[in-house]
């Protein structure tokens, strides 16, 4: 089965079966039935794509309330360190982080359920990052956590001088002061 469970409830790694020959490769990057057969049902409503250069850190971001989002993330070109933090109150992994290398070669994807802050760091010269969302973006519902919060101890695999942040991400609150999430997850 190409879906691999992690120690975080609902957080899954998808490793596709890649068929390669002298012409190149083919793989099925998404199959709704496969997820449904394993008990996961998502209605993806928005696709997003971002191009970034080495050292760019985006995150840690999430949306709250009825506008919370699950994401299915992957890298089309290059390599990133993908990071999530469980912000679901009452979860046994609340406040814990999980990271995985996603790149064009391994073609892995990470299914990030609602209730996680998400971010990534570009480790290659450039990267194209692609993700599906099960809810639309809402500025009024966005929240964030400071990427280098000492409590979270996330190793972004970059030197401090390499890291490039947006102005918004430079001033996100630390984990203990982030905007509250909600208890319902999808």
Which of these is catalytic: 61, 62, 118, 178?
A: 61
* Residue pair 16/107 in contact by the 8 Å Cβ criterion: yes
* Residue pair 113/3 in contact by the 8 Å Cβ criterion: no
Measure the CA–CA gap between 153 and 62, rounded to whole angstroms: 19
**Order of strands across the sheet that contains 3-5:** 3-5, 12-14, 109-112, 71-77, 126-133, 46-53
Which of these is catalytic: 42, 118, 131, 178?
A: 131
User: Any idea which residue has 């912000």 for tokens?
Assistant: 87
Measure the CA–CA gap between 26 and 19, rounded to whole angstroms: 5
Distances (CA, A) of 56 to 64, 65, 141: 24, 28, 24
Is 131 an annotated catalytic residue?
yes
Is 61 an annotated catalytic residue?
yes
Residue 83 φ then ψ, to 5° = -130, 135
Which segments of 38-165 does DSSP mark as H helices, in order?
none
Name the residues annotated as catalytic: 61, 131
């Amino acid at each position: 089965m190409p879906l691999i469970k992690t120690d975080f409830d609902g957080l899954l790694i998808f490793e596709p079966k890649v068929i390669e020959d002298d012409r190149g490769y083919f793989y099925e990057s998404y199959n709704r039935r496969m997820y449904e057969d394993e008990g996961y049902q998502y209605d993806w409503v928005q696709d997003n794509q971002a191009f970034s250069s080495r050292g760019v850190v985006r995150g840690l971001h999430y949306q709250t309330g009825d506008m919370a989002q699950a994401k299915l993330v992957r890298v089309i070109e290059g390599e990133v360190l993908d990071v999530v933090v469980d912000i679901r109150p009452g979860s046994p992994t609340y406040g814990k982080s999980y990271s995985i290398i996603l790149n064009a070669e391994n073609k892995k994807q990470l299914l990030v359920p609602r209730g996680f802050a998400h971010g990534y760091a570009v480790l290659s010269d450039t990267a194209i990052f692609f993700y599906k969302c099960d809810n639309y973006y809402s500025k009024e519902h966005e929240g964030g956590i400071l990427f280098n919060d000492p409590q979270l101890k996330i190793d972004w695999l970059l030197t401090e001088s390499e890291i490039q942040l947006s102005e918004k991400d430079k001033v996100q609150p630390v984990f203990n002061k982030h905007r509250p999430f909600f208890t319902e997850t999808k």
